[in-house]
Amino acid sequence: MAERDRAAAADAAMPVLEKPGHPHESAHLHVTGAARYADDLSEPEGMLHLAFGQSSQAHAKIVAMDLSAVRAAPGVFAVYTAADIPGANDVAPVAHDDPLLAEGAVLSHGQALFLVAATSRDAARRAARLGKIEYAPLPAAITAAQARAADSLIEPTQRMARGDALAALETAPHRLKGGFAMGGQDHFYLEGQIAVATPGEDGQVHLVSSTQHPSEVQHLVAHLLGLTSADVTVEVRRMGGAFGGKETQAALFAGAAALVAAKTGRPAKFRADRDDDMVMTGKRHPFDVAYEVGFDAQGKLLALDLFLSSPCGASVDLSPAINDRAMFHADNCYYLPDVLITSERLKTNTVSATAFRGFGGPQGMLAIERILDDVAAHLGRDPLDLRVANLYAPGRNETPYGMTVADNIAPEMIAHVRQSANYDARSKAIAAFNAQSPVIKRGIALTPVKFGISFTTTHLNQAGALIHVYADGSIQVNHGGTEMGQGVYVKVAQVVADVFGVPLASIRCTATRTDKVPNTSATAASSGADLNGMAAYNAAMTIRARLETFLARTFGCGEDAVRFTPEGVLAGDARMTFGELARRAHMGRISLSSTGFYATPDIAYDRAAHKGRPFYYFAYGVSVSEVAVDTLTGEHKVLAVDVLHDVGASLNPAIDKGQIEGGFVQGQGWLTTEELVWHADGRLLTHSPATYKIPTASDRPRRLSIELWDGQNVEPTINRSKAVGEPPFMLAISVFSALNRAVAAAAPQVRALPPLDAPATPEAILKAIAAHRRAAGGVHA
Amino acid sequence: MAVSFLLDGERVDLDTLDPTGSVLDFLRTTLRRTGTKEGCAEGDCGACTVLVGALHEGGVRWRALNACIQFLPMLHGKALLTVESLCADGVPNSLQACMAGNGASQCGFCTPGFVMSLYGRAIGACGSELPVADVIAGNLCRCTGYGPILEAGELVSCLPREDGELAAKLAKIAGTPASGEWQGRRWFAPVTAGELAALLAEHPGATLVAGATDVGLWVNKGLRTLDTVIFLGDIAELATITESEDALVLGANVRHADAHAALARLHPDLGELWRRFAALQVRNAGTVGGNIANGSPIGDGPPALIALGAELTLRSAQGRRTLPLEDYFIDYGKQDRQPGEFVESVRIPRPAVNAVIHMAKLSRRFDSDISAVCGALALTLEDGVIASARLAFGGMAATPRRAAACEAALVGQPFSLATMERGAEALRADFTPLTDVRGSSDYRLEAAGNLLRRLYLREQGVAISVLDMEAIDG
């Protein structure tokens, strides 16, 4: 059956309706401390604990490594360098350019040089600091500017274009140039990177890894050790948060643990120290944005020449796809008639930047929202009116990459929130407040989100599942999705429970394992429930079809007279519990186990031309944020936020609302308190929660209302739901826009946007206020 | 060495232990009691929050603490509760059930820490009078956005506890302090200031540990080996709070959480500063004396206390001496503490009725952050003229320091915005701050100067804090 037909069948089997808000399947374990994470598993006798010796240089040749003191340190069992790796010294996802242990040269500060295995974690960490490394320093590009000056790129600069932006700029009635910078972001998953490797017979290795991508860890470990994929099993029951930070970055630690297990024959655990984790693992890409925009007197955009530049760090990692996604989202909800998006991917001597919720989307989206704020400030207009004027609309519904926006619900959603949040009245009240408040200034902004759903690397859009129905009627569900807190297990379990008409309690979700479902994609791109839910649905339907045939045969009814209902299974006049049916089917020698597979239909993308349909559909959202800024200290507070978010027909509204709120606050952190600071010599200075500040409870907006859009996916996804992992992150852009307006209120006569960069720390805000006031001096002096 | 404590009310006796091993490692590695998590091992994320109870007025007084930076011997004579303690036979208690049902966990890794902080609040643990958001300011969650956790904290805000039996058990082990030796490393736990003075005379190079909120990081992150530790936590006579009409005297051992209310009574800004002082788990461990003795240029206590004219009393086997607090801080990493001396108490004069005070902590994040600038400004006014000025700043120099030039520019001048502008300008002669990870030199100077403007404007009734703002009615 074609995927589209399967999906249509899913609609029939599972009528589109709002599902009840089942709690997270592990909630009762989380709150009692009984949920087991990798470090909580009992430690077998003889387990070794690992630590890396790390580079103190950002870019240097390794002249000599004297590890004698490391080997002699108490508790040390073994010390390994690149020369000890039997297979490929590589833990990179795509480009084979991330060695497990440095060979010949180091490319970033903190890079792993050697690996210590010791009888305790403390002994390993202490010994790892005793290496005597002789370096011959090489010129290092730490900043984007340094990399640009050295013409240091990870891949050629990419261009996405429609029409002739430069010609259209020439003829536009108004033109504006601008630019700003946005920072990166550390994932700060609460559970740090960890992997536990256990050697098996005949060279096999079993790994418990805190990873979003068990299959990739499996493949990399196999190559590293010179094994086949069949020799390596990777298991992950749950992660203590990931957010993209365990998509490729887990492989370093898993590779190290596997190497030690293979070399020593002992189990080995690598649990990274928080500070080491922050130094050694990649983060969200910072971006510099420069633009020239042409528009008419009403603020309608006519031409855009947009330049995006991001320092990608020392290796390729996923940076090409991440930067592509920034380009894909530089339109957000707006029609850009003549547009040129240029995307520069710089290679720097810093830890390689990596996936993080939104995957470049937030950076592209922030760019266009900033541009609209700039145009509005220039014209002295309410930015919301400009946003509305530029939305996709009939006849203006093709993205810069040539995809038609088929389900354009942004206009309706914006109109709804504009009214429900009382945007216009509050804007007026805020202007009045600002006029009489010398120190505190308020700002309000509404920004929309349109986020493309699918891996833009088309082949990744596939998933598998494995379902066992046992003879007592209990059901085990397994699939390629990994659980990092987002609730993919409970959503998939709900899908399966619905197929069989059984209560959710009948379903046991089991750990994601490469020996149950092979060749999986990362749980990423918000795709977990879409892909794995449909794969599990297909597996369940295969079993159900067998049961229907069996029942029809047994009870002499048509297969269409078989019903799986919450009250039991009906076959003609017969009725039985699902458990009774399972037992009968087993006695009748019916296979009660099945795999299921799903591949997203209809998507295709030509990367060379940057044209095609990379996304199956879009998920939308709208938020209104009100902020207050202290113009003397630069401190701010987010006072109220109204969110309307589109999850299609929700599989689980409680889980979805959790994703929306969590995503919003994480996005707020990116744009406000979370600042990564690098020393000129390439050291990350913000390598602990003492210096890197994610939001706390009091940073949550005082008033935060979240409403789900009443709609369903136009595409036949599982239950007509939509992905929810990443899109809400970008709702927080309204906070940044509101901060800009509050800062601008410090000198309201200036018809320009204050030069505020993200994150809007107190220092950044105070600096922007000073510059904005200086601009006022220039205008009115 | 020997350490005894109660875990879930059951006595645990240890006779061999690393004195600077953490409570967290003991729980996770030795007992394999793994509900308590390590998120950062530096007291900043709260995933390892446990409750530690001590005998207090015949009952048990509970505190939420970060197990990652509590040394195991510090538990001696105490009762310990972890997330596992809360559910009988695996059945969640009402707080846990409420959190589970309310979507308060996503990845679940931080959840046990939140459970313990909120449980502490519900049973009246130290700091439980604070709003929920303040009680969990030291617990980081990266998934939920906090809303469901805050709600659960509000919904289950009172859980009665009967600790009579526990108190009786505690009384049996609380008498003899933990002292001893392990692999040549010594741990002393004196119970009187006199004993401390004698010990310090004998071991002048010993590391003094009160709350271990800093020393814990020396071990966990610096991997330092401490040969001789003198633990101050059992010295009751150093933990006294004495409020009189003219002053507040805090013993060096008074924990920040216990000092909070008395400090707030001196001035509301001082209370607000202490509300934002680290987070509750750290305030429950760290002491006022430790914050001073440590000599950090970015501690939030010293600027405030210096501005109020605090005096420090140091003690040794030779006796006592008292000095103005500002004189204690000589240079970066250098304090006026002689070998054998320890901080005994700090005396903080009550502000005069004609005092105008503003204290502010400027940091990237409001809660649980380290100041870029901590400013404490105390003026007295006579007939609209500034009669005296004590301005002290943290984060502006190698030590917490007074701003002499600025003070001189203010005293004798009318209390006006123009005077404040001149004072702010004069600050540039007082300080040449560093640019570091928390802020640039320019920001520090500008923001510090603006605190003078803020003080004046607030006196004129101008709204000056975003924390006081409510959203425009939608």
* Annotation says A18 is catalytic: no
Identify whether B433 is preceded by a cis peptide bond (ω within 30 of 0): no
Query: Quick one: which of B474, B303, B463, B54 has its CA closest to A419?
Result: B474
**A-chain residues within 8 Å CB-CB of B463?**
437, 439-440
Q: Is the dihedral of CA B101, B104, B106, B111 positive or negative?
A: negative
Question: Nearest-CA neighbor of A458 among A328, A604, A359, A324?
Answer: A604
- Compute the average pLDDT of residues A530-557: 97
Model confidence at A33, in pLDDT bands (50, 70, 90)? very high
8 Å CB contact between A692 and A661: no
**Which tokens go with B161?**
């506890």
User: What's CA A330's distance to the chain center, in Å?
Assistant: 17
**Going edge to edge, which strands form the sheet with A568-571?**
A562-565, A568-571, A574-576
For an interface test with B, give the residue of A439, A633, A656, A743 to mutate (most B CBs within 10 A). A633
pTM (2 d.p.)? 0.97
Both tokens of A307, joined, read 């330049």
Residues belonging to chain B: 474
| Maximum Cα interatomic distance, chain B, rounded to a whole number of Å | 70
Residue A456 in any domain: the answer is no
Count of domains observed in chain A: 1
Report the pLDDT averaged over residues B77-83. 97
Q: Report whether pLDDT(A778) > 70.
A: no
- Contacting residues of B for A686, CB less than 8 Å apart: 437
**Residues of chain A contacting residue B465, judged by C-beta atoms under 8 Å apart:** 440, 630
Choose among B107, B364, B453: nearest Cβ to A241. B107
Give the Cα separation of A749 and A779 in Å (integer): 9
Q: Express each pLDDT in B5-23 by its tens digit.
A: 999 999 999 998 999 999 9
- Quote the minimal CA–CA distance from A3 to chain B in Å: 31
- Write out the H or E segment, with its range, that includes residue B377: strand B373-382
Which residues of chain A are within 8 Å of residue B472 when distances are taken between CB atoms? 426, 429-430, 433, 442, 444, 626, 640
Distances in whole angstroms, Cα of residue A463 to Cα of each of A69, A233, A631: 48, 18, 51
Q: Which residues of B touch A637 (CB under 8 A)?
A: 466-467, 469
Task: Check CB contact of B8 with chain A, cutoff 8 Å.
Answer: no
Give the H or E element holding residue B261: helix B256-266
Percent of chain A with pLDDT over 70: 97
On the CB side of A119, CA atoms within 13 Å amount to: 7
CA A609 – CA B130 distance, rounded (Å): 59
In the numeric block, the tokens 């803020």 are attached to: B454
Distance CA A11, CA A7 (A): 7
Cross-chain Cβ contact B137/A696 below 8 Å:
yes
Strands (E), B232-341: 241-243, 247-251, 311-316, 319-324, 329-331, 334-335
Could you tell me if A718 and A529 are in contact, meaning their C-beta atoms sit under 8 angstroms apart? yes
The distance in angstroms from the start CA to the end CA of chain A is 73
Question: What is the C-alpha to C-alpha distance for residues A62 and A105, in angstroms, rounded to an integer?
Answer: 5
Query: Which residue reads 């991001």 in tokens?
Result: A310
**Residue B274 has which token pair?**
């202490």
Is A781's pLDDT higher than 50? no
ipTM: 0.97
Q: Is it the case that residue A15 has pLDDT exceeding 60?
A: no
A-chain residues near B146 (CB < 8 A): 665, 695-697, 700
- Rounded Cα distance, A75 and A71, in Å: 9
Partner-chain contact B35 A33, CB within 8 Å? yes
Q: Is the separation of the CB atoms in A448 and A495 below 8 Å?
A: no
Q: Among candidates B121, B158, B123, B157, which has minimal Cα distance to B139? A: B121
Using left for φ > 0, alpha for ψ between -120 and 50, and beta otherwise, residue A620 falls in beta
CA separation for the pair A162, B14 (Å, rounded): 73
For chain A, say whether B87 makes contact (Cβ under 8 Å).
yes
The tokens describing B328, both together, are: 């204690």
Nearest to A23 among B100, B364, B450 (CB): B100
Please give the pLDDT value at position A6: 63
Q: Which of residues 209-268 of B touch A (CB under 8 A)?
A: 221, 223
Q: Which two tokens stand for residue A170?
A: 């020439």
A174 strand-pairing partners:
A295
Distance CA A593, CA A510 (A): 15
Pairing of strands B79-81, B3-7: parallel
B101 phi and psi, to 5 degrees? Answer: -80, -15
pLDDT at A780: 41
Give the alpha-carbon dihedral of A220, A226, A230, A233, to 10 degrees: -50
Torsion of CA A133, A137, A143, A148, to 10 degrees: -140
Alpha-carbon gap, residue A397 to A377, rounded angstroms? 26
Residues of B in contact with A665 (CB under 8 A): 144-146
State whether residue B206 sits within 8 Å of chain A by CB: no
User: Is A690 in contact with B474 (Cβ distance < 8 A)?
Assistant: no
**Which position among A3, A398, A726, A763 bears the catalytic label?**
A726
Distance CA B470, CA A501 (A): 48
Residue A642 and residue B137: Cβ atoms within 8 Å?
no
The residue of chain B with its CA nearest to that of A760 is B364
Give the full edge-to-edge strand order of the sheet including A338-346. Answer: A158-162, A338-346, A301-311, A287-295, A174-182
pLDDT value of position A777: 80
pLDDT at B176: 77
Q: What is the pLDDT of residue A8?
A: 64
Q: Tokens at residue B22, please?
A: 């953490």
Instruction: Delineate the domains of chain B, giving CATH numbers in brackets.
Output: 1-177 (3.10.20.30), 236-349 (3.30.465.10), 355-459 (3.30.390.50)
Select the residue of A29, A662, A689 nearest B143 (Cβ to Cβ): A662
Minimum distance, in Å, between the CA of residue A57 and any CA atom of chain B:
19
**In this predicted structure, what is the pLDDT of residue B88?**
79
CB contact under 8 A, B34 and A654: no
Is the Cβ–Cβ distance between A172 and A302 less than 8 Å?
Answer: yes
- pLDDT confidence of A20, banded at 50, 70, 90? confident
Is the confidence at residue A373, as pLDDT, over 60?
yes
Is the distance from CB of A686 to CB of A675 less than 8 angstroms? yes
pLDDT tens, position by position, A146-180: 999 999 999 999 999 999 999 999 999 999 999 99
User: Of the candidates B44, B103, B440, which has its C-beta nearest A763's C-beta?
Assistant: B440
Q: pLDDT tens digit string along A415-434?
A: 999 999 999 999 999 999 99
Q: Please, which residues have CB within 8 angstroms of residue A395's CB and are 6 or more apart in sequence?
A: none
CA distance A651 to chain B (A): 15
* Cβ count near A44 (within 10 Å): 11
At A9 the pLDDT is 66
DSSP strand E in A125-228: where?
Answer: 132-137, 158-162, 174-182, 194-199, 205-209
**A759: cis peptide before it, omega within 30°?**
yes
B474 chain-A contacts, CB cut-off 8 A = 421-422, 426, 640, 642
Sign of the alpha-carbon torsion through A279, A282, A284, A288: positive
In tens, the pLDDT along A612-668 reads 999 999 999 999 999 999 999 999 999 999 999 999 999 999 999 999 999 999 999
Distance CA A532, CA A596 (A): 9
Q: Any chain A CB within 8 A of the CB of B82? A: yes
Chain A contact present for B454, CB below 8 A: yes
Cβ A274 vs Cβ B39: under 8 Å: yes
Q: Is the pLDDT of residue A257 over 60?
A: yes
What's the CA gap between A352 and A354, in Å, rounded?
6
**Residue A572 resides in a domain:** yes
Interface test with B, best of A627, A660, A696, A700 (most B CBs within 10 A): A696
Interface size between A and B, measured as CB pairs under 8 A? 292
* Cβ–Cβ < 8 Å for A91, A100: yes
DSSP string, A456-485: SSGGG-EEEEEEEE-TTS-EEEEES---SS
CATH number of the domain where residue A13 is located:
3.30.365.10
Residues of A in contact with B453 (CB under 8 A): 632
What spatial distance separates the first Cα and last Cα of chain B, rounded to whole Å? Answer: 63
Q: Which two tokens stand for residue A727?
A: 């899109």
Q: How far apart are CA A121 and CA A584, in angstroms?
A: 53
pLDDT digits (tens, 9 = 90+) for A47-101: 999 999 999 999 999 999 999 999 999 999 999 999 999 999 999 999 999 999 9
Q: How many helices (H) and strands (E) does chain A have?
A: 20, 29
Tokens matching residue B342: 């320890």
Is A581 inside any structural domain? yes
B69 touches chain A (CB under 8 A): no
Residues in A closer than 8 angstroms to B133, CB to CB, are: 696-698, 700
Nearest CB to A30 within list B108, B447, B453: B108
Cα A511 from Cα A479, distance rounded (Å): 9
A776 or A643: which leads in pLDDT = A643
A448 within a domain of the structure (yes/no): no
Q: Is residue A570 part of a domain?
A: yes
Rounded Cα distance between A385 and B121, Å, is: 47
Domain that holds residue A557: 3-35+462-599
Place of tokens 């005069």: B352
Pairing mode, if any, of strands B207-209 and B228-231?
A: parallel
pLDDT tens by residue, B127-178: 999 999 999 999 999 999 999 999 999 999 999 999 999 999 999 987 777 7
Of the partner residues B41, B112, B362, the one whose CB lies closest to the CB of residue A633:
B362
Domain assignment of residue A13, yes or no: yes
- Spatial distance between the Cα atoms of A426 and A641, rounded to a whole number of angstroms: 12
CB contact under 8 A, A702 and B150: no
The pLDDT assigned to A398 comes to 98
- Per the CB < 8 Å rule, is A763 touching B96? no
- Work out the average pLDDT over B87-102: 91
Does the pLDDT at position B108 exceed 50? yes
Q: Which residues 101-130 in chain B show a CB within 8 A of chain A? A: 101, 103-112, 115
Query: Which pLDDT score, from 0 to 100, does residue A4 have?
Result: 64
